[in-house]
Amino acid sequence: MVKKIAIRLLKLHYKRKVAKSVASYQEPLRVNKKTRLTSNTHLKSNANFNGLEIAGNGTVTIGNNFHSGRGCLLITANHDYDHGDAIPYDSQRNICKSITIEDNVWLGDRVIVLGGVTIGEGAIIQAGSVVVNSIPKYAIAGGHPAKVFKQRDIRHYETLKVQGKFT
């Protein structure tokens, strides 16, 4: 009983920290593990975090019914290595790129997403993957770099979507 109360309080603490740190969010918002988002983050309804960090100051937009696995990382900035004042890179200048994650996306554990990427509606990204290019709607992708290896059953997906069956 005491353990359950402690877990609920910890989740509430994580949620409050996330809610204060982002540009915008919609309820419900669930934060089950330590999650670090930025002031350039926009969350739609029913975002579920199980430990995600955003690095950099690029804009991140996350759609409805998002789920992240543990230890996910979204990287929105990179050092300027082509036009900087030092080698191997200019530590003073960053290049920021946005990340867009559309509705009903699920990131498995320890997924890394790089700036400039859009993950399409209904996509699933396999655990341990590194997403360096955009992923289309309904795709199931994985690997390093992540590649589409399967497609969701779109008819079944659309049926569940119309029925409002979201986790």
Which of the residues 42, 79, 83, 156 is marked catalytic? 79
Which residue in 103, 14, 133, 114 sits closest to 58, CA to CA? 114
Instruction: Decide if 79 is catalytic.
Output: yes
pLDDT at 50: 97
| CA gap 42, 111 in Å, rounded | 19
Which residue segments constitute the domains of the chain, with CATH numbers given?
47-162 (2.160.10.10)
- 30, containing H or E segment: strand 29-31
Cite the DSSP H helix spans in the chain: 2-21, 154-162
Tell me the C-alpha distance between 98 and 56, whole Å: 10
pLDDT in tens, the chain (167 residues): 788 999 999 999 999 999 999 999 999 999 999 999 999 999 999 999 999 999 999 999 999 999 999 999 999 999 888 888 888 888 788 899 999 999 999 999 999 999 999 999 999 999 999 999 999 999 999 999 999 999 999 999 999 999 999 98
